[in-house]
Amino acid sequence: MKILVCGHNGQVAQALQKHLAGLGELHVLGHQQLDLAAPERLRTTLRQLAPKLIINAAAYTAVDQAEQEPERAFAINADGPRLLAEEAARLDAPLIHFSTDYVFDGNKPTPYTENDVPNPLSIYGQSKLAGERAIAAVAGKHLILRTSWVYSQYGRNFLLTMQRLLQEKPQLRVVDDQIGAPTWATTLATSTRTLIERWQSGEAGAWGTYHLTAQGATSWFGFAQAIGEHLKARGQPCAELLPIPSCEYPTPARRPLNSRLDCSRLAHEWQISLPHWQQALIDCLK
């Protein structure tokens, strides 16, 4: 089976390259070969390749920069996925697409389900929601997987930034009123493999939108604490951590205070079991 992975150097794309090995003929294309913001070239490449499965791990993820570049954010996060969905439907190939907790405003006091009405606070969130809706409107075989707080050993992410800053600075102030589930990119990749295997074996659940994050929840401060504990256990220097509210760390884009996602539908429909965020972090740090 010919599998196209859109994205090359991103955290999820790198994890997918490792964990989808053996499932088929894997084609991993970065933006140089597959630019989601260049529709004609994108369409041509897809028709030449003619994959049997498309996985979109590419996205515009610069949340704050998107406030100044809305057109580019929408081109990559909405227009590109719409074209992927159209071509996937033409090929009768499923499309697996990754989305985000940022489609919600964070005002709900409990974890969000797939039935909750999105209300993004930022351009980034709006562009990702537009991509979700564009894919759904095409009505082909698709899985939209919303996740949150992705980290890994690669690229730029909270884990790597904290590891560096905790060893460089005597004191760090970290936001403590935004709650979510830190999710290891490997968790996303291995879960995606299981979804593909279920589909290949005829055990697929319903197509549609699902939430896919690690179990449990914490704040960015709690996440930083867990990273710091690992550093201290290894005898490495670790800054003093101070919890602060979001208002003391202003950013161009507003973030949801509650990013918790209810993943029970994925467990019920596709029998996907997910690790607790603390265990996944331990496994990643090993």
Which residue numbers are catalytic? 124
DSSP letter string over the chain? Answer: -EEEEE-SSSHHHHHHHHHTTTSSEEEEE-TTT--TT-HHHHHHHHHHH--SEEEE------TTGGGT-HHHHHIIIIIHHHHHHHHHHHHT--EEEEEEGGGS-S--SSPBPTTSPP--SSHHHHHHHHHHHHHHHHTSSEEEEEE-SEE-SSSS-HHHHHHHHHHH-SEEEEE-S-EE--EEHHHHHHHHHHHHHHHHTT-----EEEE---BS-EEHHHHHHHHHHHHHHTT---PEEEEE-GGGS--SS---SB--B--HHHHHHH-----BHHHHHHHHH-
Cα–Cα distance, 130 to 148 (Å, whole number): 18
- Contacts of residue 207, Cβ cutoff 8 Å, sequence gap at least 6: 94, 141, 142, 143
- Contacts of residue 208, Cβ cutoff 8 Å, sequence gap at least 6: 114, 136, 142, 143, 144
Strand 150-151 relative to strand 25-29, pairing: unpaired
Contact present, 199 and 274 (Cβ < 8 Å): no
